[in-house]
Amino acid sequence: MFRYKKQTDKYKNKNYSFFKKKVCYFCVNKLNDADYKDASLLSKFITERCKILPGRASGICAKHQRVLTKVIKKARMMALLPFSVSEKGLSR
């Protein structure tokens, strides 16, 4: 009985750590910078309204966040990513 309780406590603790620490995508894949032509990759790091995700949301480290911001802005200039999505575009 005691043992069972201990196990459920452990399980509870696991649930508490639901927000597991995210690792930087670029550090994991050993990429120094993103390719601005790779829109499908960059679209992972923007919101549905095409805003750039903050580093704390995407789990990207500060160094790569700076690089990524520039790359996304470049991709926008090349019309690979939209600057913003209007309210009408979202049909809400």
Provide the binding-site residues for Zn ion, judged by CB under 5 A.
24, 26-27, 61, 64
3-state secondary structure of 68: helix
Distance CA 35, CA 74 (A): 10
Of 27 and 77, nearer to Zn ion (C-beta) is 27
Q: How far is the CB of 45 from Zn ion (least distance, A)?
A: 12
Q: How far is the CB of 21 from Zn ion (least distance, A)?
A: 13
Supply angle C-alpha 30, 31, 33, rounded to 5. 155
Q: How far is the CB of 57 from Zn ion (least distance, A)?
A: 15
Of 64 and 76, nearer to Zn ion (C-beta) is 64
Return the closest-CA partner of residue 29 out of 59, 54, 52.
59
